[in-house]
Structure 1
Amino acid sequence: MALSIQLPTPQGLADYTLRGQPLARPPAGLKFNRIAYSAAHVVADPLAAVDPWLTAAVDWDATIAYRQHLWSLGLGVAEAMDTAQRGMGLDWPTSLELIRRSLDAARDHPGAFVASGCGTDHLDIDSVKSVDDVIRGYEEQMAAIEKLGGKLIIMASRALARVAKSPADYERVYGRILSQAKQPVVLHWLGPMFDPALAGYWGSDDADAAMDTALAVIAVHPAKVDGIKISLLDKDKEIAMRRRLPAGVRMYTGDDFNYAELIAGDGWGSAPTHGQSDALLGIFDAIAPAASAGLGALAQGDLERFHAILGPTVPLSRHIFAAPTRFYKTGVVFMAWLNGHQKHFSMVGGQQSTRSLQHLAELFRLADAANVLEQPELAVQRMRALLAVHGIA
């Protein structure tokens, strides 16, 4: 019997009948021909006696269990990134504890891989007066993560965006950091749609000029750069940049609007890294089984099945990452709740309130259309509970 639910629309309540078919779990040991990181969310502790806008209370067991779920699907974990609400509820001490716990858990999962966000978010931004202050901030987090044995993702710095006066300041900061890194790092270029405080990153509001600066940094230290993740939501910019990367330096797509075609690639150039993107995506948290199945099909040379699986997830992702894009974490956690990976729909920082009921209702419909409601009956039950909280019996 088909499942139905009444959902709000701009015109009022309307019946919705679920049509999606949950994907079969991919087989264990699935091999990919792309590196694929899922930027993973954190599960809040809704029972903690704290002010959720001011103090991050994390349910560590549920948070690590979700990472184990991602590893079991063959995905890596990009830890303590913006998907984990870094800078939007998750502070540096809690981030470091998250990194420590994630690295410890990964040791129990052969083949699991983790890369961890290293930034400057522990600095009092009003006290940062120079790029030297930014360098010291990066070095402090680098030392803490590398002491744990962690691989670094050098996150974009709000402090650097604030004090840098020219592209040369970016070259100086990144040159210093890369020269000290113990193993190749992933650079992270997050556009202002994700964080308005990062406008003008790499020393210019012009994306092409900014790209030139980032590429110049990489060209000086190619052996210290595993790859660069760019999140500009502009596939043409990503393709242009990956074609200019040194051979062997990867482009990790962060384009949650166009990831399927960017991962599939265009085969351009003699180096594989110039004609395809690897992945470091927040949306992979929300669609993990589909991401795994699609990447498995791609590795087997079945491009048609890859697109058949991931294509329907793109409208869902574009909705989750719709402006204001920085609030996409709410949709990611909502999906985890609908799919039974956590017991509640609450977030650190109270961020569950950043999206409207209309937005979440449309997300539910798109998730069904994308075949990523893993337990449809549970999803309907939980959606009805949310509607009741909003006064819809």
Structure 2
Amino acid sequence: MTVRLPGAGGTLRTYEPRAGATAYSVGSSPLVSRTVFSAAHVVADPYADTTPDGLAAVDWDATLAFRRHLWAHGLGVAEAMDTAQRGMGLDWAGAAELIRRSAAEAKAVGGRIACGAGTDQLTQPGADLEAVKAAYEEQLAHVEDCGAQAILMASRALVAAARGPEDYLDLYGHLLRQAREPVILHWLGPMFDPALEGYWGSTDLDAATETFLKVITEHPDKVDGIKVSLLDAQREIDLRRRLPGGVRCYTGDDFNYPELIAGDDQGFSHALLGIFDPLGPLAAEAVRVLDTGDTKGFRATLDPTVALSRHLFEAPTRFYKTGVVLLAWLAGHQSHFTMVGGLQSARSLPHLARAYELADGLGLFPDPALAEARMKSLLTVYGVAQ
């Protein structure tokens, strides 16, 4: 069987899918050498009568089933993050319900979970610092009341309200002092969200790094780790070498994650990655290889996935979620390719076709015939006869 895929310049080419999938073990030994979170997507309700700017309609059963899939392979779940379309279709009310349900499910199955706390209930511009603080406090309390670890997400409202680095130091210091357990701090770069340009009080990344580090060094007992999503491997390496003892670096670099997780003679990064949504089983197998001390085997397993990740996260990077959900549909984790906010339309057909080809080449689809049939149905809707 072959698939006709669109390529550059409106041309069509013939692709022959692989014959079989790679088998990944479920319920095997836990990951020990690295702490690994997959930032998980949400599954939309395809039958909801909604609009792109309406309230998010979530298929809760399918959404939770996908999290059980990740936990079964030994991964932690990073919940209600940008991969779950926070600020791009999922509002705070939806995120709060997602956190509540996922935290309860994590407790039931013994899965690790950390959840994003931000300020996205502030839907009108012009919020002052007190309003930003109150919004963070509300979300932090909700996450902790649900029994999950908190991830303090970067805030669009804080960028707009802050007058300089001192405001970041004051606000984060306040939040960390009241956190019940150590949190993860998230530095999300503007390539993921343009509204976060100038976070930590400066567009100069060196200056911003100093402010970020000062927050951590002043409260090391309240910071479990940092998630860095700047797509700059050397900057992450330099930053992690300056962290206080006991503070982890969780890479959020979807371009350079194999080398950052493997590390060097001065340290390594743990992982909190959106690409580990579609790569979950393969990523877990790679880390188990690393657990044996086989760094070369780890790299041999994970390095081939980088081409897919770089494709999904290509500019404009914030639309990577579309490819993630496409692959979940093709892999059989959900019955449709519908996204909250209508975001399934955010990538072109050639982009989606290349994502299918790269994922198939990696053996990511448990049922390659199902993936082929679904891809053909999508292509037919776009007018590409098969």
Q: TM-score range by the shorter chain?
A: over 0.9
Number of residue pairs matched by the alignment: 383
Root mean square deviation of aligned Cα: 1.2
Matched residue of 1:285: which SS? coil
What's the % identity of the aligned pairs?
57
Matched residue of 2:15: which SS? strand
From 355, 370, 373, the equivalent of 1:363 is 355
Per-residue CA deviations over 1:84-137 (Å, capped at 9, x if unaligned) read 000000010110110111011112213x10000000000134140x22221111
Cα distance in 1 for partners of 2:234, 2:260 equals 10
In the alignment, what sits opposite 1:63?
63
Q: Does 1:339 align with 2:338?
A: no
Q: How does 1:196-275 map to 2 (within 5 A)?
A: 196-268=194-266, 275=267
| Offset, 1:376 | 1.0
Q: Does 1:327 align with 2:325?
A: no
Cα distance in 2 for partners of 1:324, 1:247 equals 36
| Offset, 1:150 | 1.9
- 2:13 maps to a residue whose letter is A
Matched residue of 2:166: which SS? helix
In the alignment, what sits opposite 1:89?
89
| Offset, 1:238 | 0.3
Matched residue of 2:329: which SS? helix
Q: Does 1:388 align with 2:380?
A: yes
- 2:187 maps to a residue whose letter is W
| Offset, 1:368 | 2.0
Gaps of 5+ in 1: 269-274
From 250, 272, 280, the equivalent of 1:288 is 280
Task: Show structure 1 runs of 4+ deviating over 6 A.
Answer: none
Cα distance in 1 for partners of 2:35, 2:132 equals 30
In the alignment, what sits opposite 1:30?
29
| Offset, 1:54 | 1.4
| Offset, 1:27 | 4.6
In the alignment, what sits opposite 1:108?
108
In the alignment, what sits opposite 2:343?
351
Gaps of 5+ in 2: none
| Offset, 1:31 | 2.5
CA contact (8 A) 1:125 1:159 kept: no
| Offset, 1:144 | 1.8
Cα distance in 2 for partners of 1:125, 1:65 equals 34
From 131, 134, 156, the equivalent of 1:133 is 131
| Offset, 1:23 | 2.2
Q: How does 1:114-125 map to 2 (within 5 A)?
A: 114-125=113-124
Per-residue CA deviations over 1:296-323 (Å, capped at 9, x if unaligned) read 1111122222112211110000000000
CA contact (8 A) 2:18 2:368 kept: no
- 1:248 maps to a residue whose letter is G
Q: Structure 1 302/20 Cα, relative in aligned 2: closer, same or farther at 3 Å? A: farther
CA contact (8 A) 1:153 1:186 kept: yes
Cα distance in 2 for partners of 1:334, 1:161 equals 32
Cα distance in 2 for partners of 1:124, 1:380 equals 41
CA contact (8 A) 1:26 1:292 kept: no
| Offset, 1:18 | 2.3
Per-residue CA deviations over 1:14-68 (Å, capped at 9, x if unaligned) read 1111247532212523222100000000000010122243120000000000000
Per-residue CA deviations over 1:183-221 (Å, capped at 9, x if unaligned) read 000000000000000000001111111111000000000
- Structure 2-normalised TM-score? 0.97
Cα distance in 1 for partners of 2:126, 2:371 equals 46
Deviating more after overlay: 135-144 vs 223-232: 135-144
In the alignment, what sits opposite 2:12?
13
In the alignment, what sits opposite 1:185?
183
| Offset, 1:289 | 1.1
Cα distance in 2 for partners of 1:144, 1:70 equals 23
CA contact (8 A) 1:53 1:348 kept: no
Matched residue of 1:289: which SS? helix
In the alignment, what sits opposite 2:193?
195
Cα distance in 1 for partners of 2:348, 2:17 equals 21
In the alignment, what sits opposite 1:271?
none
CA contact (8 A) 1:23 1:289 kept: no
Cα distance in 1 for partners of 2:304, 2:15 equals 18
Cα distance in 2 for partners of 1:217, 1:292 equals 32
In the alignment, what sits opposite 2:161?
163
Matched residue of 1:107: which SS? helix
- 1:367 maps to a residue whose letter is A
CA contact (8 A) 1:20 1:369 kept: no
- 1:206 maps to a residue whose letter is D
CA contact (8 A) 1:20 1:371 kept: no
CA contact (8 A) 1:260 1:311 kept: yes
In the alignment, what sits opposite 1:79?
79
CA contact (8 A) 1:186 1:227 kept: yes
CA contact (8 A) 1:77 1:113 kept: yes
